[in-house]
Amino acid sequence: MNNYTSLSDDKMPYPRVCAHRGFSDLLPENSLIAFSAAITMGVPEIEFDVWASADGKLVLCHDPNLARIALHQTGVVRDLRYEEIMRADIGSKKSPLLEGLRVATLDEVLDLNANRAVINMHIKSPEPEKGYDKATFRKILETIDKYGSRGHVYISGAKDVLKVALEEAPDVTRNCLERKENPDIVENALKYKCKKLQFLVNYSKEAIDKAHQNGIICNYCNTENREEAAKFFEMGIDTVLTNSCWLILQTWEKYKKN
């Protein structure tokens, strides 16, 4: 367990930069080294994606399958056992110097990085139409609590995740990613009592203002362009997600509050 603790989510000032899957332009996405590098640079927030394996282990991967990021093991994450997922090499596609780097677990990333930064935890849904599995959500919550991280973590997801999160852990901040139910993401955020929402492409100054008028924090995902990041900060976006955190941190210096 690390000894350094950052400000909690409710105390960390805005605007912020969030390292999307860690420093993922340079290092393997959703890897321990990508998160550690981003935090060492001074990023106040990191984002990652969580799936449950076939045998219930909580692992970090964005896509439903390993094919894009890994060598030596492909397949759908939720259909693979933990030991099968651990055969995947997620380092070699970035650099031969990272050969053998393995998929991170939720336990590992919280052990290494919990409370060193705010965490935007994107819980991925295997079958959204069937609802998110409550037992899996409780396991995620138990892992968060194991590291005393409720104050540093907020949960991102579509409506099935938001619904179970509201039922099982109403005190944990929710970030609305739901777009299918209603094109107005602000209305979706209000429906699931979310303190945050995350724009992808459906953003506008009017929508940002509407969210703020309702006390909702606005994320934007994502940009690797400094001029674009500056535009989002000027429009009122509170947290800009980026794969290129080193570049965007330089823009953030102009806007951040100490």
CB 16 within 8 A of CB 257: no
Q: List pLDDT tens digits, range 145-184.
A: 999 999 999 999 999 999 999 999 999 999 999 999 999 9
**Does an H or E element contain 232, and which?**
helix 226-235
**Does an H or E element contain 217, and which?**
strand 217-221
Q: How many angstroms separate the CA atoms of 145 and 69, rounded?
A: 29
pTM of the predicted structure, to 2 decimals:
0.97
CB 233 within 8 A of CB 251: yes
Report pLDDT for 202.
Answer: 83
DSSP 200: S
Class of 16-54+104-252 per CATH? Answer: alpha beta
φ, ψ of residue 69 to 5 degrees: the values are -105, -15
Q: How many angstroms separate the CA atoms of 207 and 112, rounded?
A: 36
CB 110 within 8 A of CB 84: no
Is the pLDDT at 3 greater than 70, yes or no?
no
Parse the chain into domains and list their residue ranges.
16-54+104-252
Q: List pLDDT tens digits, range 90-123.
A: 999 999 999 999 999 999 999 998 799 999 999 9
Q: List pLDDT tens digits, range 54-84.
A: 999 999 999 999 999 999 999 999 999 999 9
Six-digit token string for 66: 């390993």
- Nearest partner of 244 among 73, 34, 86, 82, judged by Cα: 34
Q: How many angstroms separate the CA atoms of 162 and 155, rounded?
A: 8
- Nearest partner of 235 among 223, 250, 247, judged by Cα: 223
Q: How many angstroms separate the CA atoms of 114 and 4, rounded?
A: 9
144-148: long-range contacts, CB 8 A cutoff, minimum separation 24: 144/110, 144/172, 146/107, 146/110, 147/1, 147/110, 147/111, 147/114, 147/115, 148/114, 148/115
Parallel, antiparallel or unpaired: strands 58-60 and 45-52: antiparallel
Report pLDDT for 1.
Answer: 45
**Where would I find the H helices in 147-182?**
159-168
Instruction: Dump the DSSP string for 38-105.
Output: HHHHT-SEEEEEEEE-TTS-EEE-SSSBSTTT-BS--SBGGGS-HHHHTT-B-STTT-GGGTTPPPPB
Q: List pLDDT tens digits, range 14-46.
A: 999 999 999 999 999 999 999 999 999 999 999
pLDDT band at residue 204 under the 50/70/90 scheme: very high
pLDDT band at residue 201 under the 50/70/90 scheme: confident
Cα-based distances in Å from 47 to 30, 61, 142, 213 = 8, 11, 19, 25
Report pLDDT for 239.
Answer: 98
